[in-house]
Chain A
Amino acid sequence: EDQVTQSPEALRLQEGESSSLNCSYTVSGLRGLFWYRQDPGKGPEFLFTLYSAGEEKEKERLKATLTKKESFLHITAPKPEDSATYLCAVQAANSWGKLQFGAGTQVVVTP
């Protein structure tokens, strides 16, 4: 069965203190791995799609990487506006419609 595990559950950072979030996955063939950002009371907002091991994507202070078993979301020199819950999801190769989400990592960046 497909499974997605995110760690840590919560992360408190000082402004400028870089860190990484982990997303470990078990899936029978990966069609795609997604990262989303979710602010309180809002719907998830798309950040990145990764398709194959070794791939990297960047957006401002965020960088996502992918291996065969996990993905990392690196936050470089975070600012308070980076505070959010970050969600990871996987789509299996044999699935056109199903998406499996992890429970998320809640990130708080303090000034």
Chain B
Amino acid sequence: EAQVTQNPRYLITVTGKKLTVTCSQNMNHEYMSWYRQDPGLGLRQIYYSMNVEVTDKGDVPEGYKVSRKEKRNFPLILESPSPNQTSLYFCASKGRQGAYEQFFGPGTRLTVL
């Protein structure tokens, strides 16, 4: 089954403790992206990757890192999480350059205390 998977689905952590949220897709997609969703603000793009070793900032990249060493994986790294990073995070992928639809993962709910 074609899908985007994220792990963990739920995470409660404390300020300053480094964490990684993994994202994997099995559709051989070149493009992958991370979003955060907050009430009233909608989905905001954090980082995206056009292909392996090619990443770029979205609208809210501060406090986040990403890497794209393999086509199927696009982990999101929070080196020193803070409470304002408490949010619902989504990973997405799409197959080609251009205006094609993105396929979203199930989401990771992160709480930073």
Contacts and interface: CB of A to CB of B under 8 A. Distances in A.
Partners in one complex: yes
Contacts of A96: 50, 97-98
A24 to B, nearest CB: 14
Contacts of A42: 106-107
A1 B47 CA distance: 18
Interface of A: 31-32, 34, 36, 41-46, 49, 51, 87, 89, 91, 96-104
A98 B45 contact: yes
15 contacts: A31-B98, A32-B100, A41-B107, A43-B4, A46-B102, A51-B99, A91-B99, A96-B50, A97-B31, A97-B33, A97-B48, A97-B50, A100-B45, A101-B43, A101-B44
Contact of A98 (B40, B43, B58): B58
Interface of B: 4, 31, 33, 35, 40-45, 48-50, 56, 58-59, 90, 92, 97-107
Nearest to A103: B42
B contact patch SS = strand
A34 B92 CA distance: 14
A43 B43 contact: no
Given A32-B98, A103-B41, 10 more contacts: A34-B102, A41-B107, A43-B104, A44-B104, A46-B103, A49-B99, A91-B99, A97-B48, A98-B48, A104-B42
Contacts of B59: 98, 100
